[in-house]
Amino acid sequence: MFKNCDKPVFGQDRWDGWPSEAKEDDVLAWFSETITKLEELAADYPPVNLLFRRKLLAQPMTPLVGSTGRRSMDIGFINDDFMVQPELGMISRYCWSHILVLGELKSNSAADAQQLVWIGLATYVREMLSAQDTHRFALVFTLCRSKLASSLH
């Protein structure tokens, strides 16, 4: 697999293809494209379990159902087995119970102050764990310019 890795995703202190102005829509498009590249790279190599596929969810302005307030997360991953299908008359949205990994985008280093980000992420984690009573932890990440940080809460 690593023989096919001819173009690094991160190098020289920055992400490859990172948007110059780092506006939210541009970053979401870049992240989605990067995830697609990683999926394509891994597609031919086991273990690829198609029953448990994950999907990127990026709808930062749309509140998730099941929240105690009108809360939406910037970006995250959900099970791919849940599909919103308006053509079948299903008027539904993603819920906190569908979330597998929570993400937070920050446009500059000042906005990525650790304590403030953790408070925001803790709010997301509370919503997720309230909706998923069998889970005891949440995997979260933040993405700010050249820094991608992940943690377990």
One digit per residue, the tens of pLDDT, for the chain of length 153 reads 566 667 777 777 777 888 887 788 888 888 888 888 887 777 777 665 555 667 888 888 888 887 777 888 888 998 766 555 555 444 457 888 888 999 888 766 665 566 777 788 888 899 889 888 888 889 998 887 667 777 776
Q: Nearest Cα to 96, choosing from 44, 51, 133, 61?
A: 133
The residue range of the domain holding 61 is: 2-152
Q: What is the DSSP letter of 64?
A: P
Q: Report the alpha-carbon distance of residue 67 to residue 26 in Å, rounded.
A: 27
Q: How far is CA 30 from the centre of its chain?
A: 12
How many CB atoms are located within 10 Å of the residue 24 CB?
Answer: 15
What pLDDT is stored for residue 58 in this prediction? Answer: 86
pLDDT in tens, 38-67: 877 777 776 655 556 678 888 888 888 877
Burial of 124 (0-12, 13-18, 19+ CB in 10 A): buried
What pLDDT is stored for residue 91 in this prediction? Answer: 46
pTM of the model: 0.76
Q: Which residues are 76's β-sheet partners?
A: 57, 102
- Indicate the average pLDDT of the chain: 77
Q: What is the CATH number of the domain that holds 64?
A: 3.90.1570
Question: How many structural domains compose the chain?
Answer: 1
What pLDDT is stored for residue 101 in this prediction? Answer: 92
